[in-house]
Structure 1
């Protein structure tokens, strides 16, 4: 019987540096049947459930562990100040991002040692790789759902080694991940980052996906914000800071111009879905098909001892 997520025992475990394993389309079934796939999706569904009906401003317990992780992300905001954009001919892909990324990469081990309690420091050589890959590509100066997935894998690893307590689960999303979302938005705007592998108008969003999943779960059962209202300016003004889904819509409206139905057709179509339950379930299906079901994303994923490419004893099967 496989241990539940979060019950990993570190004693005697050998951590390894994660490496790529899905190198061609022929390897996709290996990924879809792997321990890593099951761990990632189980973690996403677990957190999807714990944030159900809870706003970002809900009274949730913020432990010292959560505070230290958000403080870690705050440090990365400070590094942005050390690396202001440079003057360059091209409009997009400001090369100052390379400086930011190199500083973060050079300091990641020490930053994680400071942020994480000593009992999990042995895992840092492995989990630091997921952390470093969470903020974009320093060569292409782009960011996409693969980088977002890397940060979720970082959180998933922490959960697997037992770093989080049960009382931390809601704050993983509402505090740590949301702070990460604010950080990568700052990086996107400061360094004019390109979308990685964008499908243009037919994609859900240029940069993110999972905040729409968790954000729709937050809105389940809301008495006022029905799906057809999430584009309403009054709703966004009143509730945009309370719900991640609405925060994402606000961000899109800030960075894109023109009719919403034209630049964000998929999201505009979602507003016609009758319930947040159907939206939430549909987004989970879409994520497995259009993000982690696509080779251009998965070819960059990394696999180690915590998120292994080895076959799971019982492969993940979606409940939707």
Structure 2
């Protein structure tokens, strides 16, 4: 079949197929140049030559648009213990714009992080969640999932206070205190008992549930979770053979925990772009989810607007599952209203375009963004670039005590809620604060009106 482009991709009837077959075996000159890509121009080259130049494609076959896998050479590492290796507690090293940030982007560590994340994305191309084989779900993968289940169980011991506020619930700090207490035992279940080793690796997991002082969560915390998995990979606990399970077994378990935390404690989005962002909290489900759907025979980018597709296929595909969750926590109906960027992405011609865009976005919006990377933690397994200043040398507080990049201050308000104050220029402190969608939806649900307001007033 000749590769037609753009809106000309359409299923052919039996009659149309016969005509196309005859046309390709009996080429004849036309008034149009075939290089224009017009759907009305039959091929002017012999069938054999055309086949070599352009492999046959069906309507949803985007293999021609998919480039080769990222050319990252993923470095492997043997299992390490405290003996012969000096572990350090991770700390921030990108403390100012300019050289530290540019150094990181050209470093082996940046290449390592990209290779790890993109390697996981490559491993789940055209795979559903249920396709994970027992050999890919090793004992360590099961233990990681069990650790996340225990983190979820702590929620029952730390019920949120009914403050009547749509903003972050202060009991979240109590939850993180309980998580800190459980970290040594969780890592012991993974076979890690050397204290310096556990101190370094557990720091990434501790910072993957949100910020204790600001009571917020964002893509930087999500990245910390995958840095934790990267550390386990560097210890040979999670070899590349487990990469499909990391995306399709471990990530769904992590998302399940985080969604409960977000809806229980109303975590505020960290560095959110509002409706003009991809999502308030997550990014990687969209990257891995697009890879899953790369050559799907009938789920197209526009399928995210079909509620039936989301309901039936959401459990198998991360992209659809995340869209369904976003829809469930917004108090207006329709992606075009509450998530216009996701709505725009759905206009892409195929999933290859979306996956390629997500890879670029991971670098541009996460690895190259100072508001995210100023909280990136470097240790002995995720090494800093030589010459980067330490927190002590820069005279800044540790991550646990630091406020938003030193640009704003944090105070306790009259209700005891610690929050960020910006210099807005008026006497009303922070002006009008915008709550997270999960907080707004949660409080409306308590009042029994959460499902009543589903349309914007002017729609």
TM-score interval (norm. to shorter): over 0.9
Aligned residues: 309
Name 1:265's counterpart in structure 2: 340
1:143 to 194, 198, 217: 217
- Give the Cα–Cα distance (whole angstroms) in 1 for the partners of residues 106 and 132 of structure 2: 38
TM-score (norm 1): 0.92
Name 2:285's counterpart in structure 1: 211
Are 2:203 and 1:133 aligned? no
- Give the Cα–Cα distance (whole angstroms) in 1 for the partners of residues 319 and 127 of structure 2: 12
Are 2:319 and 1:249 aligned? no
- Give the Cα–Cα distance (whole angstroms) in 2 for the partners of residues 44 and 174 of structure 1: 13
Are 2:264 and 1:190 aligned? yes
- Range 257-266 or range 6-15, more displaced: 6-15
Checking the alignment, whether the CA contact within 8 Å between 1:141 and 1:193 is kept in structure 2 is yes
Deviations 1:173-232 (A, max 9, x none): 111111001111110001111101101111100000111000110111111101111221
- Give the Cα–Cα distance (whole angstroms) in 1 for the partners of residues 132 and 250 of structure 2: 15
Name 1:14's counterpart in structure 2: 86
- Give the Cα–Cα distance (whole angstroms) in 1 for the partners of residues 199 and 120 of structure 2: 25
Deviations 1:253-283 (A, max 9, x none): 0001223112111110111101111100101
Are 2:273 and 1:199 aligned? yes
1:81 to 149, 156, 160: 156
Name 1:23's counterpart in structure 2: 95
- Range 163-172 or range 92-101, more displaced: 163-172
Checking the alignment, whether the CA contact within 8 Å between 2:290 and 2:319 is kept in structure 1 is yes
Bigger radius of gyration: 2
SS in 2 for 1:103: helix
- In structure 2, the gaps of 5 or more residues are 1-71, 387-459
- Give the Cα–Cα distance (whole angstroms) in 2 for the partners of residues 224 and 120 of structure 1: 50
Checking the alignment, whether the CA contact within 8 Å between 1:120 and 1:161 is kept in structure 2 is no
Name 1:229's counterpart in structure 2: 303
Q: Deviation of residue 9 (structure 1)?
A: 4.8
- Give the Cα–Cα distance (whole angstroms) in 2 for the partners of residues 63 and 155 of structure 1: 14
1:44 to 95, 117, 122: 117
1:107 to 167, 182, 206: 182
Deviations 1:40-61 (A, max 9, x none): 1110111001011111121422
Instruction: Name the Cα RMSD after superposition.
Output: 1.8
- In structure 1, the gaps of 5 or more residues are 312-320
Deviations 1:74-108 (A, max 9, x none): 00111000000112242220111111011101221
Deviations 1:147-175 (A, max 9, x none): 00100111111112211234322111111
Name 2:75's counterpart in structure 1: 5
